[in-house]
Structure 1
Amino acid sequence: MRICTISQLLRRSAVITASWACALLLLAAAVLPATGEAQIPRKINYQGYLTTVNGAPLNNAALPVVVKLYDAASGGNLLFTETQNVAVSNGVFSMQIGAVTPLTLSFDRPYFLGVAINGDSEMTPRQALAAAPYALRAVQAELFGTVAQTSGSNTLIDGGPSLPDVGQYNAISIGLDGNPVISYYDMTNGNLKVAKCANPACTGTAVVTTVDNSANNVGRYSSITVPVDGLPVISYADSTAKYLKVAKCANADCSGSATVSSVDTSLNAGVYTSVAIAGDGLPVVAELVSNGLKIVKCVDPACTGTGSILPNTDGPPTTAIGTDGVPLVVQAQFNGNLRFSRCTTMQCTATTTGTLSATASQLAPGLAVLPSGLPVASYLDFTNKRFVVTACADANCYNSSTLQPGAVNVVANYAAFNTADTSLAITLGADGLPVVAIGDPEMGTIKVIRCASFDCAAIASVSTPVTLPRSVGPGALNGFRLHLSLTVGNDGLPVLAYYDPLNRSLRALKCTNAGCTGTGWRR
């Protein structure tokens, strides 16, 4: 059996086996109409990348692909099956699940995808479906008004006025069980902590664990992702030793003894870390060091060893994975440029790099990859005092070595605040379009912006689900740190983690609909 990789577009990575070729498979967003259940095209876009056993891209005019949906990760009941002959060109193929056999499942419970290619046995393990397919169920609920009538939740996860100051430098992901998992910094004790929510809405009592309580000050700049084994991976800073560290949890809620490794021990490493799972199923971490950006590629799931560590240009980075499984990085350079880097391989032995935006000074970059493969970035333009989203004009952001950014679209403005106190996050909604969360310390609010186009040139909705007093901290506008992170649950609804500076605590907000409208919380 040869080892291959399978990767779900929104946030999953996995290792699967096949007996004849290596396949990288990507599950994209279901296409949904605005209204009318009869109009719902109940299909799921599916893309793949196939190679021969020697790693060469496959070409085949009509390759049989069998997809199956089950109600369990192994065993269980077969609920759907379909066979299509797909054209493979330079390793790439696309198909729509449901194009041959009607896809009539209700999407009201977990489903698991199995794939077999060219008569081979089904690849293992099966892949848990996530946000995009479950948008089918979300649309059904909205048609009957149930989503709009459901009250939202804003839950204290950890901390409080008389407890340790926790919740800054938070990051959020979704576990294989559909429940959010959050990494964050315990400033009082200088530790890295992880909270695993008890349900998709993060209500109830979360499992809170101190993952790294070494004598050093650790936990700033945390980033978290959940690979196919369900065991979260966290990158973060050791601010005392100035190292980059990675923790691999021993179980899904991180309550066991994690494997903790000092991954990069070079000077001033571990600042602004961002972790993702590449197409080979192994972590990749972007970080800022004293001499610029580094992209660290792990050689095992726990990142106890690294292959390539590539120096690049300066500025805070964010990483994502392209539809071909290759790491991508966007960074806000200190010279004011927004820089885009693409690894040339999954192992990231080299990069191609160019300037995505050079119009003004940039901060707080975010990055997502659309179902079409186009990278889309968010950032803070502090020269012009605006929050901006821009998408590349092609999947690589390059055309004949020239960077191809799309239009710069302003999604919000501000007057004045300490830019170090703000946060900006971008992810994809169940419809495959960007959703942006903004922490505005000037107004003491968190805003959620749901885009109506791939580059946010059109806005579907703007909401303010969180409002806090502006007088927090030493001044009305200073010391108001609004660290936040954003993802979309398996139900297609956004969920945010954020730091409450009034009570020095970590909170989680679960939206009631795709735009987080109708959900408000005030102090």
Structure 2
Amino acid sequence: MKPKLLATFVLSALIPLALVAAAGPPAVSLALQAPEPQTLTFYLHGDDVLGTADGSTMNATPSSGQTLQVNLADTPSWYSDPPLTGSFAEGASFTLVKPCTVGLSLTPTYTLALTNADGNEIEQLGQTTQLLGLCLGQERVRIPVQTPVELEGQRLKLTISTTAGLNVDLSLGRGTYLEATNFVESAPELEGALVLSASIEGQLADTPPGPDLTVGDRITLDVGVTNVSEAEARIREATTSFGPMTCDAEVLSPGQSMTCSTTGTVLEGPQEVPITVTGISGGQGIAIATNGFYTGVLAHLNRIVTVDSEDTVGLFTSLVLDADGRPHVSYLDFTFGRLMHVHCGNANCSGANPGFGPVAGGVPNNVQGLYSSLALDSSGNPVISHYDATAGDLTLTNCANPDCNAALTPLAGVDATGDVGQYTSLAITPGGGFGGPEPLLLVSYYDSTNTALKMAICDVKVTLCSSFTYDAAGNVGQYTSVASNGKISYYDSTNRDLKLAWCTGLILPDGKDVPACVLSEVITVDDVGDVGQYTSLALDAAGNPVISYYDSLNTNLRVAHCGNPRCSANNSLMVVDVAGDVGLHTSLALDADGNPVVSYYDATNGDLKLLHCGDPTCNPAFNSIVTVDSAGDVGQYSSLALDAAGRPVISYYDATNGDLKVAHCTTPTCD
């Protein structure tokens, strides 16, 4: 039997693998620089620690244990522990550092491989053979490896072998290790550690299509980062396709938030902006990804958005803008017979719309939401008048918050005397107006039982109301529109006239906080032909009524501008559009110069149109008329408001698809 050939390796015993960064942990800074590459040190162990996979362990902690023996005939292997997630970047080197050999010449082979967590080999990374010779101190054996090497929960495996069948004992001392350079850690994602929320130019951008933005504009993308874990989170890097982000903090305590920002240029069409935030929390890596969304629109194109396409929706729309220019829209879900409300997440209704759904507080099994009219109270909470077709009642719903997903108890049956509540119109008086120190709700509506015009006066919490019949001379009171001073425009179906009514006698009943009207005045504004359907009323700076309405005899759009608050003299009556059957479903607002702006339905072409008058009387020589939307049969039940720049925002019904749509024009004339 041949004698054993002995050589001495001083291989220090190790505990299970932890990672040692030669230069310490990566720095985290407000600049959010990329993580620095690390040098990892894996000390080789014998039976002083538990084995890993089907071999021994190499890890980051040296051991002061005894010298150990290994037999090269057994082809000993060491596995890195714990598994690694990250990459050995381009130029990384792998070197076994060991004591010099004492003994006869020997030529071991050193092999480095990649395995999964169970030790099953995935691929060989590199191999070298080196003659053991007499030397002093330490010897370095470099194992050539082609880089980069990506690892995701995987291990390095080091194997030492020699000529097949050669029985060689090696004495493993202390201090032998594998040195691996250029490692960039990419720890597994820590689920739920951070919550990201994207906004662009102050508009929510978490869901497609996101806000509409003008192509070529420079914009700011903000990402809110909230630490929802129970451990401190250190942010390493925040990046987007726009480029790196600048954050206003580097360490987040549990529950703390910060904002990371960057800028970019708007591209045309639907866009997705990838966002990634990385860091460390509770000793684990964080890699949280999300997307921001926007739609790049050419500057001259109006923004037209389908806001609700579920069921058959979008009839009887009413639109107002909140203090930030975000639309509120009430409307009818025809399929389920219910009142709906949406509070748009941005000025174009193109992003996530948080206040979206059936209005809370509806009466179960009743068909509600017809003839809806919407206003906002001083807290920005919607108040909606509408018709309960099942009960035949006028109903008021006062929402408890801006998104209208909670309601104060609705005063169902504000007026329940007969079949009442069709053609409602709602306005809120200024404080100190209309006979009371506090704002009041004014609701004009049609009494179908008595074919009369009525108005209810209520407190803003809808706890107390009074009602009065303003006009009962014939069949009157359809197509009402009420102003904040109580003036009401409406249609006299008997005489086919446009009329105006208002209260001339207010009293405050004993013990009541809401005044009651006991006397009214009525005047005919236009009696030429069959005029006065689809009225919409606004007041100019002098309090003079301005009314848009439909001439059904000539199928034209008309505008009346009264010469005084009572419409008793010097009225201007203008025919403003005669191109086909036009002027149904009108909605009117006045621009900063007092010029009327009217949205309306073109029944001949099935289009939504807009009139922007060039002067307060709508002289046809100065007017602008454009088609806003012609995609299918669109434009019925239009409701109009002007944003802070005087640009029209219009809600309306898409009859082709049964959808609610909103158009936001990019110019005051929508052209």
Scaled to the shorter chain, the TM-score interval is: 0.5 to 0.7
Aligned to 1:489: 643
Task: Tell me how far apart the structure 1 counterparts of residues 446 and 578 of structure 2 sit (CA, whole Å).
Answer: 27
* 1:33-432 mapped onto 2 (5 Å cutoff): 149=299, 151-159=301-309, 163-206=310-353, 207-211=355-359, 212=362, 214-261=364-411, 262-278=413-429, 279=433, 280-290=438-448, 291-313=450-472, 314-321=476-483, 326-335=485-494, 336-344=496-504, 347=515, 348-362=517-531, 363-397=533-567, 403-404=568-569, 406-416=571-581, 422-432=584-594
Give distance in 2, aligned partners of 1:431 and 1:148.
Answer: 28
Contact 2:580 / 2:602 at 8 angstroms: preserved in 1? no
Quick check: 2:330–2:374 contact (8 Å CA) kept in 1? yes
Q: How far 1:152 moved relative to its partner?
A: 2.5
Letter in 2 for 1:342: W
Query: How many angstroms does 1:299 deviate by?
Result: 3.5
State the secondary structure of the residue aligned to 2:524.
strand
Q: CA RMSD, aligned part only?
A: 2.2
Q: Which amino acid aligns with 1:190?
A: G
Selected match of 2:624 from 456, 461, 470: 461
Deviation per CA, 1:298-335, whole angstroms, max 9, x where unpaired? 332132321232241413143333xxx63100101102
CA distance in 2, matches of 1:195, 1:294: 30
For normalisation by structure 1, the TM-score amounts to 0.63
Give the Å deviation of 1:432: 2.4
Partners of 1:326 and 1:345 within 8 A in 2:
no
Residue type at the aligned position of 2:357: T
Residue 451 of structure 1 is aligned with which of 613, 621, 624?
Answer: 613
How much does 1:405 deviate?
5.6
Conserved 8 A contact 2:397-2:407: no
Describe the superposition over 1:93-135 as per-residue Cα deviations: whole angstroms up to 9, x where unpaired: xxxxxxxxxxxxxxxxxxxxxxxxxxxxxxxxxxxxxxxxxxx
Distance 1:466 1:373, change over 3 A: same
- Distance in 2 (CA, whole Å) between partners of 1:293 and 1:229 is 34
Q: Quick one: structure 1 residues 415 and 514, their matched pair in 2 at CA, closer, same or farther if it must change by over 3 Å?
A: closer
Measured after TM superposition, the shift of residue 414 of structure 1 is: 4.7
Give the aligned partner of residue 62 of structure 1.
none
2:572 partner amino acid:
A
SS at match of 2:572: strand
Distance 1:416 1:175 in 2: 34
Q: Output the amino acid matched with 2:529.
A: A
> SS of the residue aligned with 1:483?
strand
Once residues 495 and 436 of structure 1 are traced to their aligned partners in structure 2, the CA distance between those partners, rounded to angstroms, is: 11
Residues in 2 aligned to 1:148 and 1:435: alpha-carbon distance in whole angstroms? 24
SS in 1 for 2:502: strand
Matched-pair identity in %? 29
Among 591, 595, 619, the residue aligned to 1:433: 595
Number of residue-to-residue matches in the alignment: 348
CA 1:189 to 1:258, structure 2 compared with 1: closer, same or farther past 3 Å? farther
Distance 2:504 2:470 in 1: 15
Distance 2:505 2:456 in 1: 11
Q: For residues 358-407 of structure 1, what are the alpha-carbon distances to aligned partners after superposition, in whole Å with 9 as ceiling and x for unaligned?
A: 1111211111111122111111011122110011111222xxxxx33612
Determine helix, strand or coil for the equivalent of 1:263: strand
2:344 and 2:570 map into 1 onto residues whose CA distance is 38
CA separation of 1:213 and 1:501: change in aligned 2, threshold 3 A: farther
Q: Which runs of 5+ in 1 are unaligned?
A: 1-146, 398-402, 473-479, 518-523
Conserved in 2, the CA contact under 8 Å of 1:286 and 1:317? Answer: no
1:499 aligns with 2:668: no
Asked if 1 retains the 8 angstrom alpha-carbon contact of 2:329 and 2:343, the reply is yes
| In 2, Cα distance between equivalents of 1:450 and 1:153 | 18
Letter in 2 for 1:465: V
Cα deviation, residue 423, structure 1: 0.9
Q: Which amino acid aligns with 1:510?
A: H
Decide which moves more: 507-516 or 429-438: 429-438
| Contact 1:191–1:214 (8 Å) recurs in 2 | no
What letter corresponds to residue 303 of structure 1 in structure 2?
V
CA distance in 1, matches of 2:477, 2:602: 21
Per-residue Cα deviation, 1:459-512 (whole angstroms, up to 9, x for no partner) = 33111110033xx6xxxxxxx872211111233211000111111010100000
Q: Which gives a bigger RCO, structure 1 or 2 (Cα 8 Å, sep 6+)?
A: 1
The answer as to whether partners of 2:561 and 2:617 remain within 8 angstroms in 1 is yes
Aligned partner letter, 2:576: V
Q: Aligned with 2:369: secondary structure?
A: strand
CA distance in 1, matches of 2:424, 2:551: 21
Query: Which amino acid counterpart does residue 497 of structure 2 have in structure 1?
Result: N
Letter in 2 for 1:495: V
How far the C-alpha of 1:209 sits from its partner, in A, is 2.2
